Amino acid sequence: MDNDLQIDSDEDLFRNPVYYEPAGRNLDLDRPDLGVPQGQDLLNVLLGMRGRVPVEKRGLICPDCRDIRSRRVPMYLVQRDGVWLASHYRKPGERPISHESDEHLARKDRVAKDSDDHGFRADIESLASDGHARLDVRIHGANGIVLGYEPQLSPQTARGMRAREGFRRRGGIRSVWDFADPDHAGIGTVPYVRTPNLPASVIRVQKNPIPVRDGNFVLEEDRCKQDGKLTRCPLKPFDPENPTDAGYCGGWHRVLVPVHQSSAFTGESGLTLTQFIVEAAAGERIPFQRDGHHGWLPAQQWQQYLDANGPAVGEKDHQPSVRQGDRRDRCTEDRPASEARTEPKQRHGSRTIVLESRNRESEAAEVPVDALGHAIPLCRFGCGQPASLKGPEGLPEHYSCRKELA
């Protein structure tokens, strides 16, 4: 009798709210009594209905579908990693219940239309080759590139984002995760872009540009000094109490830096989401991973990156895990992460990635010379500066240094 339902994949499982009609209340699947008076044996009763009672007659329904969509959608219980979850009932071949906000749908439709208009066929809601990941938008790029566009407008844990990216990576997908929150846990955790949080009505108008504010990196290298290209020393931690303190070490750095923090940034990058997606599908932008941080590089700079660092080494595959999410607020994909498994709140902004650094001492010292090309010796008193004049003892010195020691 349970053979007529479509079992959700691990990635489609969430902490859905579930309403038990006989008790007239939502169940708390984290409690032994399910939050119902005298409910210690209720779980066994519900599980005992398997194979005997049709799913639609077990009394479990989705409260959000009832309240928001005015639909009675039956639910059933499944267990993953020792956690009980409620899933929407659907027959084999039926599409999953839509859990997407209007803004989420608008982003998918916009990217799919823009990709088609630029010659790259796009499919909405497409499965990866291994069947474990459902792509919001699959874009068929050049030279066999398969691009997956994934707008993510709700908070999620870094662990959950890595697991979801793992499904796609193992399916040969180049993912573009689109975040609106600058502090989202997925920033840097997965290949990403960050765009403004715009209403669906604005996103759907193709003439409206959607700027890319983060996720696109460039390669820079220079001396770490006041008049150099680097805006601050990449080895010096940012001090929020003193944000204008740049600090320079005098060494030499090769770094990957977000465009909006680069020396060439003039205030507006000009890069739009449409341009980024089209260039990524064409292979003109390449995803990279360095020290656990992900981003995108222009193709020519990607080659410089490989020349300097060797072939990219992928991070180890993560074991599939249940997609965590708290569905107590809304029946939508755009929901906050589960409080039960959420990670400590921390700031997840983009950062400069150091590829190579050398101390000032390791570089060839610049020896000062006089008009005839002769080297100018250093001051005898140890100030470290060249001194052209000789003192009474015939040794190079500065008058000011002798005066200080007098």
pLDDT, residue 345, reads 47
Query: What is the C-alpha to C-alpha distance for residues 333 and 100, in angstroms, rounded to an integer?
Result: 5
Confidence class for position 246, pLDDT limits 50, 70, 90: low
pLDDT, residue 192, reads 95
Q: Is 142 helix (H, G, I), strand (E, B) or coil?
A: helix
Min mean pLDDT across 195-204, 218-227, 329-338, 348-357 is at 329-338
Which residue has better confidence, 69 or 219? 219
Closest CA to 49 of 59, 40, 39: 59
pLDDT, residue 138, reads 94
Query: What is the C-alpha to C-alpha distance for residues 334 and 62, in angstroms, rounded to an integer?
Result: 17
Query: What is the C-alpha to C-alpha distance for residues 66 and 160, in angstroms, rounded to an integer?
Result: 28
Question: Does pLDDT of 385 surpass 90?
Answer: no
pLDDT, residue 270, reads 81
Min mean pLDDT across 23-27, 72-76, 265-269, 385-389 is at 265-269
Query: What is the C-alpha to C-alpha distance for residues 260 and 77, in angstroms, rounded to an integer?
Result: 47
Residue 21: left if φ>0, alpha if ψ -120 to 50, beta else—which one?
Answer: alpha
- Dihedral sign of CA atoms 311, 158, 285, 118 in order: positive
For 230, residues 6+ apart whose C-beta sits below 8 A from its C-beta are 220, 222, 224, 248, 253, 255, 263
- Give 193: exposed, middle or buried? Use CB within 10 Å, 0-12, 13-18, 19+: buried
- Residues 333, 193, 230, CA angle at the centre, nearest 5°? 150
Closest CA to 151 of 183, 195, 120, 206: 195
Confidence class for position 222, pLDDT limits 50, 70, 90: confident
3-state helix, strand, coil in the chain (%, to 5): 25, 25, 55
For 138, residues 6+ apart whose C-beta sits below 8 A from its C-beta are 122, 123, 124, 126, 146, 147, 148, 173
Confidence class for position 92, pLDDT limits 50, 70, 90: low
Q: Is 270 helix (H, G, I), strand (E, B) or coil?
A: coil
Min mean pLDDT across 6-20, 72-86, 181-195, 263-277 is at 6-20
Question: Does pLDDT of 273 surpass 90?
Answer: yes
pLDDT, residue 389, reads 82
Confidence class for position 142, pLDDT limits 50, 70, 90: very high
Using one digit for the tens of pLDDT, what is the confidence trace for 8-61?
Answer: 655 555 567 889 999 999 998 888 889 888 888 899 999 999 888 888 899 999
